[in-house]
Amino acid sequence: MDKLPDIFESYVFNDNVMQEKLPKDIYKKLIKTIKNGERLDLELANVVAHAMKEWAIEKGATHFTHWFQPMTGVTAEKHTCFITQTKDGKVRMEFTGKELVQGEPDASSFPSGGLRSTFEARGYTAWDPTSYAFIKDNTLCIPSAFCSYSGESLDKKTPLLRSMQVLEKEAKRILKLFGHNDINRVYTTVGAEQEYFLIDRDLYLQRPDLRYCKRTLFGACPPKGQELEDHYFGAIKPRVLEFMKELDNELWKLGIIAKTEHNEVAPGQYELAPEFTITNMATDQNQITMELMKVIAEKHNLACILHEKPFAGVNGSGKHNNWSIGTDTGLNLLEPGKTPSENKQFLLFVVAIMKAIDEYQDLLRATTASASNDHRLGASEAPPAIISIFLGDELTEIIESMENSKKYKKREAVEMEMGVPSLARFTKDSTDRNRTSPLAFTGNKFEFRMVGSSLSVSGPNIVLNTIVAEALSQFADILEKSSDFDKDLEELLKENIKKHKRIVYNGNNYSDEWVKEASKRGLCNLKTTPEALETFIAQKNIDLFTKHNVLTKAEVLSRYEISLEEYSKVINIEALTLIDMINKYIIPFSLDYTEELVNICEKKKDLKIKYDIEKDLLDKITNLTNNLYKKLKTLEDYLSESKKIKNVSKSSVFFRDKVLACIEEMRPIIDELEKTVSRKHWKLPTYGDMLYSLA
C-alpha cells in the first residue's frame, strides 16, 4: 500500500504530467481550449503530440492508437508504430499533431445501422482531450470519438459528450436564477459498480456455450446454490484475492480508483466499485475495467464472465450506474443539505428528474435492453422492466407536503442504539436503502440499477443527461419570465409533483403487487428487447434528441437498427451453439449411457436377475433424447425460416417468440438428462463444478 501513491496514474498523461512536459504557455492554452470547447489548432497539437510521445516512450510505449467505442459495445484500436524512416535509411520516433487529433480507421466493418454502405469505407476518429490519454500494453491510447465520412456519429462517445454539453447549458440557466453567477462548468458524474463471475478457465474452455455465448444454455442446479446466503460479503478466496490485487494495481496505474470489492450473492460472483468521476471519463474507465478483468483473469487461469445471466438459478450481474450533477465550484446539485425541505434549488433538480423519468421512462428502459439483460430483469435479483424512482421516506414526505401546500415537519435525528454501551454511537440515516428500485435516490445521487453488467454505461447516461436537460429547459423557460420567482417556483414544483408523482415508488419492486400497481398508474412494462427498442424511435424521443442536437434522426434510426440486429444475431449464435452441443455432446452422452444400460439389462436377463432400475433409466433417457431431438429439428427449421425475414423488427420478434422460446423449452430436457446420465458419460463441467471451482 505504501507504493500506491507512486503508481497511481503513472500510466496516464494527466494534468500533472502535462504541466511538467509542456511549456507553460502551451499548457495554459491547451487547458483553456479544453474548458471552452474551442478547436485545437495544429501548432498547439504538434507540441502536445511531441510531449505525449516523449512521455509514452519513457514508459516503454512503441505504438499509439486512437482508442474509441464503436456501436459493438466494446472498444476498438488500430496500433501504429512511432517509427518513421528518414532519407538516410535510419529511423526516428515520430508522432505529429495531425496523428494526435485525427485518425482514419476503416468504417465499413463497424455497425452503422444503414448510415454507411459496405463500399463506403472512410471514417474518422477525433481526439477527445477531455479524457486523459493512457498507456496500455506498450501502446499510447488516445480516447477518441468516431464518425463516418459524412459526419454521422458511429460511436457511443460522441452523443455522450453532446448530452453533457446540453445538460450543462440548461443547468447553468437554472443556477443563474438562484444567483450562481460564478459557475462556469456543470457536469454529470458517474460511478459504475461492476458485477462479474469468476470460474476456473480450464472448465470455461470445456463449455462451448460459455465460449461463444458467454452464458450457459443448459445446466442443472447444484444441490447448494445461494440459499444459505453465505457467499455474500464472505471471506475472499486466496485465488480470487490474488486476481483482485493485480486488477487493483493495473487500474490504479491508469488512474481508475478501484475503491471497494467483495463477494456478491451468487457463488462465484463478485463486485468492484470505483470512485465517481466525470461521466465521459467514467465511461472510458468502465470499458477499460471490463477489458482488464478479462485479461488479468486469464493470467490467473480464471475466466471472467460479464454476461448478465451466465448461470440459471442464481443471481445475475448488473452494473449500478450512480449518477449525479456537480459544478466547477464544488457543488453537488443533488446534495439535500441539512434542511432539504428549505433547499428549493435541490428540490427543483429532484422534481426535474421526476418529470424527466416519468415522461421518458420508455426511452430510459430502452437503454438497458439487450438479449443478455432480458434474462436478468424481472427476476428476484434485479428490478422488473418497469421504471420507477425511490426517493425514501423523508424526501417523499417533503414533496408530498409541497404538493398539498403544507408545512413540512422536520424529522428529528435518531441516534442508533445497538444495546451494547461499548459500541460507537452514530446518527441513523433519515431513510433506508431500496435495492429493488431501478432508480433510487441514495443521499446525493441516483443509482440506476437496471443497467446490465456487460453493457456500456454510455447509453443510459446519454438519456439521463438529455431528458433531465429537457426538463430543466422547460423549467428555465417558465422561471426566466417570472416576476415573482419564489411564488412561481413554488407553483412550478407543486404542479409537476402532482403530475409526475406516479413515477415514485418506495416499496418492493420485485413484488407482483407492484406490477399490478404500476399498470394502474399507466407506467410502461417493456419486458423484452424488441418491444423496448420500438420506443426508441417514437416521434417524441426522436424530437427530444434532435431538439438538443444529441442525435440526428438518422443516428437515432441507425442505433435502433444496430440494437435489433444485435439482438437477433445473439440469439442466432445461441441457437447454433445449442444445436452443435446437442449433436456433439448431449445426444452422444445419452446414447453412450443407454448402450451401457442395454448391456447391463441383457446380462441381467441372461442371469434371470431383475433389471427394473436399468429399464426405467433406459426408458427415461430414451424418451428425453427423442423429445430433445424433435425440438432440435424444430429449432433448425426456425433458423432456416429466420433467414427469409429481412425486416429487423419482424426478425427480432421472430427470434424472441420462436427461436429463443424453443431454446428455453429444450433447456429443462437437457437439464434432466444431465441429472440422469451417469457422470462417467456426462463429460461437460456442471454448475457445481464451475460455481465452486475456486473454493
Q: 364-404, pLDDT tens digit by residue?
A: 999 999 999 999 986 656 778 999 999 998 999 999 998 88
Cell 454511537 belongs to 425
DSSP 429: P
Nearest Cα neighbor of 130 from 9, 259, 17, 38 is: 38
CA count, 13 A, side-chain hemisphere, 46: 3
Spatial separation of the C-alpha atoms in residues 523 and 675, rounded to whole Å: 42
Residue with more model confidence, 123 or 518: 518
pLDDT score of 1: 47
**Segment 618-636, tens digit of pLDDT:** 999 999 999 999 999 999 9
Average pLDDT value over all residues in the chain: 92
Residue 62 to residues 12, 14, 188, Cα–Cα distance (Å): 16, 19, 35
| 3-state secondary structure labels for all residues of 323-368 | EEEEECCCCECCCCCCCHHHCHHHHHHHHHHHHHHHHCHHHHHHCC
Spatial separation of the C-alpha atoms in residues 65 and 116, rounded to whole Å: 23
State CA 153 to chain mean position distance. 20
Nearest Cα neighbor of 162 from 502, 572, 552, 609 is: 552
Q: What percent of the chain has pLDDT over 90?
A: 76
| 3-state secondary structure labels for all residues of 111-169 | CCCCCCCCCCCEEEEEECCCCCCEEECCEEEEEEEEEECCCCECECHHHHHHHHHHHHH
Q: Is the pLDDT of residue 118 over 60?
A: no
Contact 485, 177 (CB under 8 A): yes
**Segment 331-372, tens digit of pLDDT:** 999 999 888 888 999 999 999 999 999 999 999 999 999 999
The C-alpha cell of 258 is what?
A: 478501484
509 burial class (0-12, 13-18, 19+ CB within 10 angstroms)? buried
Average pLDDT of the residues in 455-480: 97
Spatial separation of the C-alpha atoms in residues 268 and 16, rounded to whole Å: 40
Residue 172 to residues 343, 348, 616, Cα–Cα distance (Å): 17, 13, 75
Q: What are phi and psi of 452, to 5 degrees?
A: -80, 155
Spatial separation of the C-alpha atoms in residues 55 and 220, rounded to whole Å: 53
Cell 457422470 belongs to 679
**Angle at the Cα of 218 from the Cα atoms of 216 and 220, rounded to 5 degrees:** 115
Average pLDDT of the residues in 163-171: 97
Cell 412550478 belongs to 492
pLDDT score of 120: 60
**Segment 529-550, tens digit of pLDDT:** 999 999 999 999 999 999 999 9
Checking DSSP bridges between strand 439-441 and strand 389-390, what pairing results, if any?
parallel
Contact 140, 52 (CB under 8 A): yes
Q: What percent of the chain has pLDDT over 70?
A: 95
Residue with more model confidence, 118 or 30: 30
Q: Is the pLDDT of residue 580 over 90?
A: yes
Read out DSSP for 65-83? EEEB-BTTSS-B---EESE
Nearest Cα neighbor of 222 from 260, 267, 252 is: 267
The C-alpha cell of 309 is what?
A: 445471466
pLDDT score of 420: 72
pLDDT score of 134: 96
Residue 143 to residues 74, 128, 460, 688, Cα–Cα distance (Å): 13, 6, 20, 41
CA count, 13 A, side-chain hemisphere, 50: 9
* Relative orientation angle of helices 485-500 and 458-479, to the nearest 10 degrees: 140
**Segment 218-248, tens digit of pLDDT:** 999 988 888 777 788 788 999 999 999 999 9
The C-alpha cell of 545 is what?
A: 434528441
The C-alpha cell of 342 is what?
A: 428549505
The C-alpha cell of 34 is what?
A: 479544453
Residue 647 to residues 46, 90, 657, Cα–Cα distance (Å): 48, 56, 15
Measured distance between the N- and C-terminal CA atoms of the chain, rounded to whole angstroms? 27
Residue at 414: amino acid letter: V
pLDDT score of 423: 66
Pick from 470-479, 586-595, 608-617, 665-674: least confident: 608-617
